[in-house]
Amino acid sequence: MDKPRIRRFYSDLAKALRRGGIYLNGDVMPRGRGKEKLGEISEKIRYSRHGTLEVEFAPWQEWWEKVEREQEGLAPEFQERRKRFANAQSIRGMLPLEFHTKMLEQVGFSEIDTVWQNLLDDRVLAAIR
C-alpha cells in the first residue's frame, strides 16, 4: 500500500481497536534513511540464502494460491493483489519501519516495537492501542 492508504488504514484501525488491544504487522519493513549500509547487507544475505526473491517468497506464494482456491468469492480482490505485486522484485521502495512506527504513534498506538525479526528487514511489529 502507498503512504496515504497506510495512514488511512492505521487511523481506521485505531478507531476500531479497543484500548489495550494489540496490533501485529508481519511484513518486510526495511530500516529507513541513514541505514542504507544495513539495507545493502540485508539484500546480500537474502541473495546468498535464496538467490532471488521468487525463490525466497515461493512458500508465501504457494500459501496465497491455496487461499485463493478456498476463497473463490474474493476473486476480484485476489486479482487486484496479483496486479499490485506483479513487478515486486526488490524490497527497495517498501516503506521503512520508521514510517510505520510514526504513523502508529500519530493515531494513538503506544509501545511500538519489533517482536520478531529475520535478517534485517523481515519483522513482526507490535503496537498496543
Domain boundaries, the chain: 3-128
Pairing of strands 22-28, 122-128: antiparallel
Cell of 27: 511484513
Q: Write down the residue that cell numbers 516503506 correspond to.
A: 95
What average pLDDT does this structure show over 12-39?
89
Q: What's the pLDDT tens digit per position in 66-81?
A: 888 888 788 888 888 8
* Model pTM score: 0.70
